[in-house]
Amino acid sequence: MGAVRRATAAAVPAAAAFAAACLSVPAYQPAPLVSYRDDATGSTISGSGFELHLAGGSDFHFPDALSIDHTDVMGHDPAAACWGQDGTGFAVVPTPRISADGTAPPVTNQLTAVLRGPAVVQVALEWTTRFSCGRNRAPGGSSTFTVFPDGRIVRHDRLDDPDPDKEQIAAAACACPDAPPLKDAFIVSSYWTFARDRFTRLSGLTAGNRDPTNPDMLDSSPGKITANYPTMCFDGGGYQVASAWIVPPGQGSSAAPGPVTFGYAALFSHDLQKPSAPMLDFRWDIHGALFVEHAGCATAFRRALDYAQPAQLTIGSVAAAASPLDGIYGGDAGDGRTGIDVAGGRTTITGATRQPFAVWLRFPQAIGLPHATRAGATGAWYVPQRIDDQIWIVWFRDPLADGETIVIEPD
């Protein structure tokens, strides 16, 4: 890392050189900044001051706890309606919610740790459920959560309805017993929830107000519904969580998704949702992010805005912005491809960011370890993460300023 120095041959005594030649060099194992582990109740992703837990067992493996400074701030409501939001997951109202504690039946429920740290952890959940109505209604999808050392959690959700006949069904026929009347339409929703008793204030930014220092202060009373705030900050005093949804264009024949915040007795829910006709056009491909913060909502909002409009960097000869699907420069472009090619085995990074960042690089041959240099940088200012011998992710602790250059080459 930044403290590693490479000595010249002339500076190494002959005896020391001979001894070094006889010793094997241990594999590089940096201290993890973010880590993944399985436990008796599921899986845990840990960073400095925060943990994201994903349910295990036969439950859908969605996150069921988000702890900040050892306090779970995720919303849990024992009295939540069958169709209502709780924990984290999907809702296809008025059917049972698809979450760790929902009653929707799991048909497929597979969690894969794609990246395990030490700089970036990513888990991918593939799931399928079955409706109680219709002949072939077995909607399914995927949720990917990418977690960074600075408490940024990027989420990418996809849903599909594989019914080849697109059988038209009535929402009432699929509804939970306690579901409200919806004029025979469905509402598809991705959501996060937050515990009411862990937060004292809510504020939001709209497309028309993007000033992080002057957000709209929102009514947090139970029963309150607030729409059109894609970026929210939940303030607990000593910590904050910002939630940002990216609203994509309308998909298929359904209306474009929109953000909604619900205030319940025990929790708040920040959703991205859209109505769907009785034909159940489930096509759904959306993304968003959470930001764990301790420096106030203004800082959390700035991070959310930077995620929505990431700074462009030049990596070698490639101009790139961080992928909104996983938050990595050179990350998922939506077509399954990842990585920026390193021409000639050496590359540079220029541009300016306001946040820590990660780059996904593909070297032309196997390397032992990527080495980064930056004028004045000291300490553990970057962490390489091996994907394979040629492909690496490199995490940079500090933002990049105009006029600075990072050089990356094999050690």
State pLDDT tens for residues 362-384: 999 999 999 999 999 988 999 99
Q: Is the model's pLDDT at 17 over the cut of 70?
A: no
> Which of 248, 229, 226, 87 lies closest to 159 in space, CA to CA?
248
Please tell me the predicted confidence (pLDDT) of residue 279.
54
Residue 18: helix, strand or coil by DSSP? helix
Enter the DSSP assignment of 74: B
CA distance 63 to 52: 7
261: left (phi over 0), alpha (psi -120 to 50) or beta: beta
Decide: 49 and 69 in contact? Cβ < 8 Å: yes
State how far the Cα of 197 lies from the Cα of 6, in Å rounded to an integer: 53
pLDDT band at 280 (very low <50, low <70, confident <90, very high): low
The dihedral sign for the CA sequence 298, 299, 302, 308: negative
pLDDT of residue 182: 65
State how far the Cα of 149 lies from the Cα of 135, in Å rounded to an integer. Answer: 45
More confident call, 230 vs 5: 230
> Is the dihedral angle over the CA atoms 222, 143, 328, 43 positive or is it negative?
positive
Please give the radius of gyration of the chain, using alpha carbons only, rounded to the nearest integer. Answer: 23
Pairwise CA distance, residues 33 & 97, whole Å: 34
Q: What is the pLDDT of residue 334?
A: 87
Residue with tokens 């492909």: 391
Residue extents of the structural domains in the chain:
35-308, 310-410
Residue in 382, 395, 251 with CA at minimum distance from that of residue 327: 395
224-273 pLDDT, tens digit each: 999 999 999 999 999 999 999 997 765 544 567 889 999 999 999 999 99
State how far the Cα of 312 lies from the Cα of 351, in Å rounded to an integer.
7
Residue 29 has pLDDT above 70, yes or no: no
Statement: 35-308 belongs to CATH 2.60.120: no
Q: Which helix (H) or strand (E) holds 298?
A: helix 297-308
The sign one gets for the Cα dihedral 87, 92, 94, 96 is: negative
pLDDT tens-digit map of 118-146: 999 999 999 999 888 866 678 889 999 99
Cβ-Cβ contacts under 8 Å for 235 (sequence gap 6 or more): 199, 200, 201, 202, 203, 296, 297
3-state secondary structure labels for all residues of 242-256: EEEEECCCCCCCCCC
CB 290 within 8 A of CB 281: no
96 vs 5, 130, 186, 260, CA distance in Å? 58, 10, 12, 19
Closest to 164 in 3D by CA, of 140, 136, 142, 186: 136
* Dist CA 63 CA 143 (whole Å): 10
**1-5, 76-80, 291-295, range with the lowest pLDDT:** 1-5
Name which of 72-86, 155-169, 257-271 the model is least confident about: 155-169
Asked whether residue 400 carries a pLDDT value surpassing 90, the answer given is: yes
Using an 8 Å Cβ cutoff, are 250 and 159 in contact?
A: no
Picking from 89-93, 141-145, 182-186, 303-307, which range would have the lowest pLDDT averaged per residue? 182-186
Listing DSSP states for 97-141 in one string gives PEETT--SPEEEEEEEEEEE-SS-EEEEEEEEE--SSSSS---EE
Angstrom distance (rounded) from CA 323 to CA 338? 10
Q: Worst-scoring range by mean pLDDT, 143-147, 238-242, 331-335, 395-399?
A: 331-335
Q: What are phi and psi of 9, to 5 degrees?
A: -60, -35
Strand partners of residue 292: 241
Lowest mean pLDDT among 3-17, 27-41, 127-141: 3-17
Confidence of residue 202 (pLDDT cuts 50, 70, 90): very high
Mean pLDDT score, 173-193 = 84
Q: CB atoms < 10 A from the CB of 210, how many?
A: 15
How confident is the model over 103-127, as a mean pLDDT?
96
Residue 49: predicted pLDDT? 96
For residue 21, what is the enclosing H or E element?
Answer: helix 14-22
